[in-house]
Chains A and B, each alone.
Chain A
Amino acid sequence: MGAPRLSRRQFILGSGTALMAATARPRAARGQARRGQVIAGLSERMLTLDPANHYSISSTSVLRHVYDPLLDVTNDDKFVPALAESWKPINNTTWRFVLRRGVRFHDGTPFTADSVVFTLKRVRDNTKLIKSFVYQDIEDVRKDDDVTVTVTTKRPFGSLPAHLTMLGMLPPTTGANEDAFFTKPVGTGPFRFTSWTHGDHVELEANAGYWRASVPKVDKLTFRFIPELSTRAAALRAGEIHVIDRVWPDMVSTLKATPGIKVHDIPAVEAQRWHFQLAREAGKDPRVRKAVSLAIDRNTIIKELLLGYARPVVSPVPPGLIGHTNLGQKPYDPDRARTILKQAGHQNLTLDFVLMKDLYPKQLEIAQAVAAMLGDVGIKVNIRNLEIATAREQRTAGNYDLFFSGWAHMPHDPDWYFGQWFTRAGAEKMTRFNDPRVEQLIAEGRVPDPKVRQQKYEEIQKILWEDEPEIWPYYSVAIYAVSDKLRNFEARRDYYVLLHEVAIA
């Protein structure tokens, strides 16, 4: 036979590998090479490529791959530098940002303070933009030098950094022709924009020159928009996509039973809230509100209907956010509820419980369960599951007693929640809430000092906890399902699907 000889094929392969190793670029030697394509299935369609023109959690998450904001928020609720290396409040109405050096946009133009000035002034001045109203409190944005920006505000704006985590920075050249810019947008992010098919999918490719080393780890990224959960899950189970978001509790067992798939869950920065209409007969009376709260068995809802994928509420602001505190859990006491109702003279109460179609997992089921629980203490509930636009009109008109809603804290700051729902101006076309003490505290809580804010928010929540203008039945849990091929996936509390660090096996 003779000595073993390399087959022709082996020889060619061998030489090829040697050749590749010899000419390999230094970058590959630094760490794991970038390769592969990741496909994510998201539940919500992205509607625009303009970071200033939407208020959707899902779009924020997608656009975060193309644009960088000044700062990011981590999954344990800390604010960390992104395009800004540091930031601090100079006084109650002034913030100063120091920017990162050496960052370039995808088209090569350098990122400087001009970009920040442009982006902030644009969102404030163009009132057609959806985010504009948030930034109306900005007085001026001044460029101190290429890497320093000073922002002055009309009144204290302690939550400005939090809002800025959601605003991607744009190159100043955008202003020349916005429509053209947004057909092929350019940011500083880890991925470049390739294409977008409205309502179907968006494709991105890696930005080799990203300012953070070894990010990203994949060549291509595709986000598919698949609102139907069973379809999303089927695509994952069939190996067509690698990660899905917004999984409902009942789908978990099916996914776990599928080989090659892992399910991740984590308590979210979201509290469900069912708000009373405080101008109607039922909502006006604090005793009725108390009775309703006592009659709802929150633990059963969490355990039986949400299969444990929810957490009991101990304060309106969820854990991880400034202002979270522990006020104890609300009790379940139907007997006391009945007594209170009798004393208050409300024997034959009827409540209209309005839901917005399809918004929250199992909401129809939960509403029916609540209707049964309230029925047990003598309150009749009419469930009105309406399509979203009609439901909102009914809310504005005040045509409801209890309204099924939730609040995911986006940005990671409760100031907006309080400002919208618990000030007179904010609540006037909604719940009609009006409490001067709370209003005062909210204004005082807007200062940048975190210790002051924590104290003010605790006081506010003590008042609300006692007054119960809303029912907070549970904190939501975010559930994701991921293919085993995907490495480094982090299940986020804010429902973002961020794929900067993931690699494909």
Chain B
Amino acid sequence: MRRVARHPMIVVGGLILAAVIVASAAAPWLTRADPLRPSFAQRLRPPQGFGAVHPLGTDNLGRDILARVLHGGRLSLVLAATAVALAAGVGVAVGLSAGLIGGRLDDFVMRLADVQLAFPVIMLAIAIVAVIGTSAAALVGVLALSGWVLYARTVRAAVLTIRETDYVEAARTLGAGNLRLIGRHILPNTLAPILVLGSSQFATMVLLESGLSFLGLGLQPPQPSWGLMLAEGRDYLSNAWWLATVPGIAISLVVLGANLLGDGLRDVLDPRLRQ
């Protein structure tokens, strides 16, 4: 535990993430401006800096961007994190089973993945929305669906490599059951790519949410999710760059924190480095 607390990447990464999460959660206290109410006279004001009425400027409907990015953070952080967790959870479970049990299960599950991969996300989104309507749950479902295969295949590959190594063989001969093998030997060795992928996927999820919401398959305006802010800011890149850049920076911050945290955890948890 001490090593975790002392590793610089973990500390910095964790602090950044914590800062973003706290800022989003504390949005109503950090800014009085209304993220939802249009104000036509205030359209497209550029960022005015710290302490001004509109520190980060206003958007195409005159709404304060700082307020929108903070309030939007709650939505986007929760959505993207849930989606990544769901995709990773399902993907890792599937990958482990496929790699360990092998044979027919492996074949069946991987072919299922192949089938799904052939379908563009948009089509899956349309199909899902047609059945259960647009909602946050549908959105998370679509996002998770788009991401699980990456984990499944990566973990499966790692399991295939490790499955035949000496110490696993040894553990097996000593009578270790599958669960113990997973917990003790296999999972820690597959942790590294999972952490890397997961921390990379957060940004992908927000960007995917952006695309889907813009197409009417995700969140509906005027909700201030980062994804919707990006989508709406796209038309203003040449004359009001701050509309899309501010949520972009917010996303970058989260990605930075997640990357540092992920890489740091990987460093600390690497079983081979432990000796």
Contacts and interface: CB of A to CB of B under 8 A. Distances in A.
A and B touching (Cβ–Cβ under 8 A): yes
Interface of A: 229-230, 233, 248, 250-251, 253-254, 300, 304-305, 355, 357, 364-365, 367-369, 371-372, 382-387, 390-391
B37 interface: yes
Interface size class, chain B: 20 to 34
B1 to A, nearest CB: 48
A304 B40 contact: yes
B220 A383 contact: yes
Interface in B216-264: 216-217, 220-222, 232, 234-240
B238 A230 contact: yes
B185 interface: no
A254 B221 contact: no
Given A250-B239, A305-B40, A390 B130 contact: yes
A364 B220 CA distance: 10
A365 B60 contact: yes
Nearest to B237: A230
B43 interface: yes
Contacts of B216: 355, 357, 384-387, 390-391
Q: Which of A230, A304, A357 has the most CB of B within 10 A?
A: A304
A383 B221 contact: yes
A253 B215 CA distance: 27
Contacts of A372: 37-38
Contacts of A371: 222
Which 7 A-B residue pairings sit nearest by Cβ, starting from the closest? A304-B40, A386-B216, A385-B216, A372-B38, A254-B238, A368-B222, A357-B216
B217 A253 contact: no
A365 B222 CA distance: 9
Contacts of B41: 304
Contacts of B61: 365, 368-369
Candidate in B40, B134, B217, B237 with the most chain A CB atoms within 10 angstroms: B40
B126 A382 contact: no
A368 B134 CA distance: 18
Contacts of B126: 387, 390
Contacts of A385: 216, 220-221
A229 B236 CA distance: 11
A402 to B, nearest CB: 15
A365 B235 CA distance: 11
A233 B40 contact: no
Nearest to A297: B40
Given A372-B37, A372-B38, 7 more contacts: A229-B235, A250-B60, A304-B41, A364-B221, A365-B61, A369-B40, A391-B216
Interface of B: 37-38, 40-41, 43, 60-61, 126, 129-130, 134, 214-217, 220-222, 232, 234-240
Nearest to B44: A250
Given A305-B40, A368-B38, A369-B38, A233 B220 contact: no
A383 B215 contact: no
A383 B222 contact: yes
Contacts of A386: 216
A357 B38 CA distance: 21
A357 B231 CA distance: 12
A386 B126 CA distance: 10
Contacts of B37: 372
Contacts of A254: 238-239
Nearest to B122: A387
Nearest to A307: B43
A382 B220 contact: yes
A387 B236 contact: no
Given A384-B216, A387-B217, A300 B130 contact: no
A239 B235 CA distance: 21
B221 A368 contact: yes
A390 B43 CA distance: 32
A463 to B, nearest CB: 33
Contacts of A250: 60, 235-236, 239-240
Of listed B134, B221, B232, residue having the most chain A CB within 10 A:
B221
Contacts of B60: 250, 365
A472 B133 CA distance: 30
A304 B38 CA distance: 11
Contacts of B43: 304
B141 to A, nearest CB: 17
12 contacts: A251-B239, A254-B238, A304-B43, A364-B232, A365-B61, A368-B222, A371-B222, A372-B38, A383-B220, A384-B134, A385-B220, A391-B216
A232 to B, nearest CB: 12
A355 B237 CA distance: 23
- Which of A305, A385, A390, A391: most chain B CB closer than 10 A? A385
A233 B221 contact: no
A250 B234 CA distance: 12
Contacts of A382: 220
A391 B215 CA distance: 11
Interface core residue of B38, B215, B217, B232 (most chain A CB under 10 Å)? B38
Contacts of A367: 221
Contacts of A305: 40
Contacts of B215: 357, 387
Contacts of B239: 250-251, 253-254
B273 to A, nearest CB: 48
A371 B220 CA distance: 13
Contacts of A229: 235
A253, A355, A386 interface centre (most CB from chain B within 10 Å): A386
